[in-house]
Amino acid sequence: MSTVGVVIPTLNEACNLPELLGDLREVALPLHVIVADGGSHDDTAALAQAGGATVVHTARGRAVQMNGGARACGAEWLCFLHADVRLPENARHDFEHLVRDPAAQAAVWSLAIDADGWWFRVLEQGARVRDRLGGFPYGDQGLLVRRALFERLGGFPDVPVLEDVAFVRAVRRATSIRRLPSPVVVSARRWKTEGPYRTWLRNSALLIAYLLGVSPHRLAKWYPRRNA
Protein backbone atom coordinates (compact mmCIF):
# COMPACT_ATOMS: atom_id res chain seq x y z
CA MET A 1 0.00 0.00 0.00
CA SER A 2 1.26 3.51 -0.85
CA THR A 3 2.47 5.66 2.02
CA VAL A 4 1.36 9.27 2.33
CA GLY A 5 3.10 12.20 3.95
CA VAL A 6 0.55 14.79 5.08
CA VAL A 7 2.13 18.22 5.42
CA ILE A 8 0.32 20.91 7.41
CA PRO A 9 1.91 24.39 7.59
CA THR A 10 1.05 26.12 10.86
CA LEU A 11 1.45 29.32 12.79
CA ASN A 12 -0.63 29.61 15.97
CA GLU A 13 -3.21 27.04 14.92
CA ALA A 14 -3.93 25.47 18.31
CA CYS A 15 -7.66 26.15 17.90
CA ASN A 16 -7.94 24.35 14.55
CA LEU A 17 -5.24 21.71 14.27
CA PRO A 18 -6.64 19.03 16.67
CA GLU A 19 -9.82 18.64 14.62
CA LEU A 20 -7.89 18.08 11.39
CA LEU A 21 -5.57 15.59 13.10
CA GLY A 22 -8.67 13.75 14.33
CA ASP A 23 -9.98 13.51 10.78
CA LEU A 24 -6.64 12.20 9.53
CA ARG A 25 -6.66 9.43 12.13
CA GLU A 26 -9.79 8.11 10.39
CA VAL A 27 -8.06 7.77 7.01
CA ALA A 28 -7.49 4.11 6.15
CA LEU A 29 -3.98 4.67 4.81
CA PRO A 30 -0.50 4.61 6.34
CA LEU A 31 0.03 8.32 7.02
CA HIS A 32 3.05 10.21 8.24
CA VAL A 33 1.64 13.54 9.41
CA ILE A 34 4.12 16.41 9.43
CA VAL A 35 3.27 19.73 11.07
CA ALA A 36 5.65 22.30 9.62
CA ASP A 37 5.55 25.13 12.12
CA GLY A 38 6.68 28.63 11.30
CA GLY A 39 7.19 29.90 14.84
CA SER A 40 3.98 29.42 16.84
CA HIS A 41 3.82 30.93 20.32
CA ASP A 42 0.68 29.03 21.33
CA ASP A 43 0.22 25.27 21.94
CA THR A 44 0.31 24.26 18.26
CA ALA A 45 3.48 22.15 18.52
CA ALA A 46 2.43 20.40 21.74
CA LEU A 47 -1.02 19.60 20.36
CA ALA A 48 0.50 18.33 17.11
CA GLN A 49 2.74 15.92 18.99
CA ALA A 50 -0.11 14.82 21.24
CA GLY A 51 -2.15 14.13 18.10
CA GLY A 52 0.53 11.85 16.66
CA ALA A 53 2.17 14.27 14.24
CA THR A 54 5.86 14.95 13.73
CA VAL A 55 6.72 18.62 14.22
CA VAL A 56 9.40 20.28 12.12
CA HIS A 57 10.37 23.90 12.68
CA THR A 58 11.02 26.14 9.69
CA ALA A 59 11.16 29.77 8.76
CA ARG A 60 7.78 31.40 8.32
CA GLY A 61 6.00 31.24 4.96
CA ARG A 62 3.79 28.57 3.44
CA ALA A 63 6.17 27.66 0.60
CA VAL A 64 9.13 27.29 2.97
CA GLN A 65 7.07 25.36 5.51
CA MET A 66 5.50 22.97 3.01
CA ASN A 67 8.82 22.26 1.31
CA GLY A 68 10.41 21.68 4.74
CA GLY A 69 7.62 19.31 5.72
CA ALA A 70 7.96 17.38 2.46
CA ARG A 71 11.68 16.89 3.08
CA ALA A 72 10.94 15.46 6.53
CA CYS A 73 9.26 12.31 5.21
CA GLY A 74 9.95 9.76 2.51
CA ALA A 75 6.39 8.87 1.56
CA GLU A 76 5.43 8.04 -2.02
CA TRP A 77 2.55 10.54 -1.93
CA LEU A 78 2.44 14.04 -0.46
CA CYS A 79 -0.76 15.67 0.76
CA PHE A 80 -0.73 19.38 1.63
CA LEU A 81 -3.53 20.65 3.87
CA HIS A 82 -4.17 23.92 5.69
CA ALA A 83 -4.71 23.59 9.43
CA ASP A 84 -8.25 25.03 9.33
CA VAL A 85 -9.53 22.40 6.88
CA ARG A 86 -11.72 19.43 7.82
CA LEU A 87 -11.88 16.10 5.98
CA PRO A 88 -15.44 14.71 6.11
CA GLU A 89 -15.98 10.99 5.58
CA ASN A 90 -16.58 11.23 1.81
CA ALA A 91 -13.48 13.36 1.34
CA ARG A 92 -11.46 10.76 3.26
CA HIS A 93 -12.79 7.99 1.03
CA ASP A 94 -11.85 9.94 -2.10
CA PHE A 95 -8.38 10.38 -0.60
CA GLU A 96 -8.01 6.64 -0.05
CA HIS A 97 -9.21 5.69 -3.53
CA LEU A 98 -6.98 8.23 -5.25
CA VAL A 99 -3.80 7.09 -3.52
CA ARG A 100 -4.53 3.46 -4.39
CA ASP A 101 -4.83 4.29 -8.12
CA PRO A 102 -1.48 3.55 -9.81
CA ALA A 103 -2.30 5.91 -12.69
CA ALA A 104 -2.98 8.96 -10.52
CA GLN A 105 -0.34 11.69 -10.29
CA ALA A 106 -2.05 14.68 -8.67
CA ALA A 107 -5.46 15.71 -7.35
CA VAL A 108 -7.38 18.39 -5.48
CA TRP A 109 -10.66 18.33 -3.59
CA SER A 110 -13.52 20.71 -4.24
CA LEU A 111 -14.27 23.38 -1.63
CA ALA A 112 -16.99 23.85 0.96
CA ILE A 113 -17.00 26.75 3.42
CA ASP A 114 -18.07 26.17 7.01
CA ALA A 115 -20.65 28.97 7.18
CA ASP A 116 -24.29 29.63 6.36
CA GLY A 117 -25.44 32.27 3.92
CA TRP A 118 -26.00 32.67 0.21
CA TRP A 119 -22.75 34.57 -0.38
CA PHE A 120 -20.69 31.62 0.87
CA ARG A 121 -22.52 29.33 -1.56
CA VAL A 122 -21.66 31.79 -4.35
CA LEU A 123 -17.99 31.66 -3.29
CA GLU A 124 -18.06 27.86 -3.39
CA GLN A 125 -19.50 27.85 -6.90
CA GLY A 126 -16.98 30.47 -7.96
CA ALA A 127 -14.16 28.26 -6.70
CA ARG A 128 -15.51 25.35 -8.77
CA VAL A 129 -15.71 27.50 -11.88
CA ARG A 130 -12.19 28.90 -11.33
CA ASP A 131 -10.85 25.40 -10.85
CA ARG A 132 -12.64 23.65 -13.70
CA LEU A 133 -12.44 26.36 -16.35
CA GLY A 134 -9.21 28.07 -15.37
CA GLY A 135 -7.42 25.21 -13.66
CA PHE A 136 -6.46 27.29 -10.62
CA PRO A 137 -7.39 25.57 -7.36
CA TYR A 138 -6.19 27.34 -4.22
CA GLY A 139 -4.24 25.72 -1.41
CA ASP A 140 -7.22 25.57 0.95
CA GLN A 141 -8.70 22.88 -1.34
CA GLY A 142 -5.82 20.59 -0.44
CA LEU A 143 -3.33 19.11 -2.88
CA LEU A 144 -2.27 15.50 -3.43
CA VAL A 145 0.82 14.88 -5.54
CA ARG A 146 3.24 12.02 -6.03
CA ARG A 147 6.60 12.72 -4.43
CA ALA A 148 8.50 11.93 -7.64
CA LEU A 149 6.55 14.62 -9.48
CA PHE A 150 6.87 17.08 -6.60
CA GLU A 151 10.64 16.69 -6.54
CA ARG A 152 10.95 16.82 -10.33
CA LEU A 153 9.15 20.18 -10.31
CA GLY A 154 11.32 21.52 -7.48
CA GLY A 155 8.54 21.85 -4.90
CA PHE A 156 6.75 25.08 -4.13
CA PRO A 157 8.43 28.23 -5.43
CA ASP A 158 9.79 30.43 -2.64
CA VAL A 159 7.38 33.33 -3.09
CA PRO A 160 5.40 35.19 -0.40
CA VAL A 161 1.94 34.68 -1.96
CA LEU A 162 0.27 32.49 -4.60
CA GLU A 163 2.80 29.70 -4.14
CA ASP A 164 -0.12 27.26 -4.49
CA VAL A 165 -1.20 28.66 -7.85
CA ALA A 166 2.38 28.75 -9.13
CA PHE A 167 2.99 25.13 -8.18
CA VAL A 168 -0.33 23.93 -9.60
CA ARG A 169 0.50 25.64 -12.91
CA ALA A 170 3.74 23.65 -12.99
CA VAL A 171 1.87 20.43 -12.18
CA ARG A 172 -0.65 21.10 -14.95
CA ARG A 173 2.16 21.46 -17.47
CA ALA A 174 3.46 18.04 -16.44
CA THR A 175 0.28 16.01 -15.97
CA SER A 176 -3.47 16.17 -15.45
CA ILE A 177 -4.89 17.06 -12.03
CA ARG A 178 -7.90 15.08 -10.91
CA ARG A 179 -10.83 16.76 -9.15
CA LEU A 180 -12.05 14.64 -6.29
CA PRO A 181 -15.86 14.68 -6.09
CA SER A 182 -16.34 15.33 -2.37
CA PRO A 183 -15.28 18.64 -0.80
CA VAL A 184 -13.02 19.46 2.07
CA VAL A 185 -14.59 21.93 4.50
CA VAL A 186 -12.59 25.08 5.22
CA SER A 187 -13.11 27.53 8.05
CA ALA A 188 -14.85 30.78 7.11
CA ARG A 189 -12.62 32.78 9.46
CA ARG A 190 -10.79 34.82 6.83
CA TRP A 191 -13.98 35.72 4.98
CA LYS A 192 -15.69 36.68 8.22
CA THR A 193 -12.70 38.71 9.42
CA GLU A 194 -12.16 40.67 6.20
CA GLY A 195 -15.67 40.45 4.72
CA PRO A 196 -16.63 37.89 2.06
CA TYR A 197 -17.06 40.36 -0.81
CA ARG A 198 -13.84 42.24 -0.04
CA THR A 199 -11.87 38.97 0.29
CA TRP A 200 -13.22 37.62 -3.00
CA LEU A 201 -12.52 40.87 -4.84
CA ARG A 202 -8.95 41.12 -3.53
CA ASN A 203 -8.12 37.49 -4.24
CA SER A 204 -9.56 37.70 -7.75
CA ALA A 205 -7.56 40.85 -8.47
CA LEU A 206 -4.36 39.24 -7.16
CA LEU A 207 -4.87 36.14 -9.31
CA ILE A 208 -5.54 38.19 -12.44
CA ALA A 209 -2.52 40.38 -11.80
CA TYR A 210 -0.34 37.33 -11.25
CA LEU A 211 -1.54 35.71 -14.48
CA LEU A 212 -0.73 38.94 -16.29
CA GLY A 213 2.84 38.69 -15.07
CA VAL A 214 2.99 40.78 -11.89
CA SER A 215 5.56 39.36 -9.45
CA PRO A 216 4.23 37.67 -6.29
CA HIS A 217 6.76 39.76 -4.35
CA ARG A 218 4.99 42.92 -5.55
CA LEU A 219 1.56 41.43 -4.92
CA ALA A 220 2.45 40.42 -1.36
CA LYS A 221 1.97 43.97 -0.06
CA TRP A 222 -1.72 43.76 -1.02
CA TYR A 223 -2.24 40.49 0.84
CA PRO A 224 -2.96 40.56 4.60
CA ARG A 225 -0.41 39.04 6.95
CA ARG A 226 -1.47 35.48 7.50
CA ASN A 227 -1.00 32.73 10.07
CA ALA A 228 1.06 30.49 7.83
pLDDT digits (tens, 9 = 90+) for 96-121: 999 999 999 999 999 999 999 998 99
Q: CATH code at 193?
A: 3.90.550.10
Q: What are the pLDDT digits (tens) for 127-146?
A: 888 877 767 788 889 999 99
Residue 193 near residue 171 (C-beta atoms within 8 A): no
Residue 202 near residue 219 (C-beta atoms within 8 A): no
Residue 162 CB contacts under 8 Å (≥ 6 apart), including other chains? 206, 207, 210, 216, 219
Q: Is residue 199 in some structural domain?
A: yes
Q: Is residue 9 in some structural domain?
A: yes
Q: Is residue 227 in some structural domain?
A: no
Instruction: Report the C-alpha gap between 127 and 105 in whole angstroms.
Output: 22
Q: Is-above-0.85 flag for pTM?
A: yes
Q: Is residue 166 in some structural domain?
A: yes
Q: Is residue 161 in some structural domain?
A: yes
CA atoms within 13 A on the CB side of 191: 21
**Domain hosting residue 95, numbered range:** 4-222
Q: Is residue 82 in some structural domain?
A: yes
- What pLDDT sits at residue 193? 87
Number of domains in the chain: 1
Please determine, for residue 180, whether its predicted confidence score (pLDDT) is greater than 80: yes
Instruction: Report the C-alpha gap between 204 and 192 in whole angstroms.
Output: 17
Confidence of residue 228 (pLDDT cuts 50, 70, 90): very low
Residue 112 near residue 183 (C-beta atoms within 8 A): yes
Summarize the confidence of residues 185-205 as an average pLDDT: 89
Angle between helices 196-211 and 118-129 (to 10 degrees): 10
Q: Is residue 228 in some structural domain?
A: no
Q: What are the pLDDT digits (tens) for 42-61?
A: 999 999 999 999 999 999 99
Confidence of residue 90 (pLDDT cuts 50, 70, 90): very high
CA distances from 124 to 134, 140, 187, 206 (A): 15, 12, 12, 18
- The proportion of the chain whose per-residue pLDDT surpasses 90, expressed as a percent, equals 77
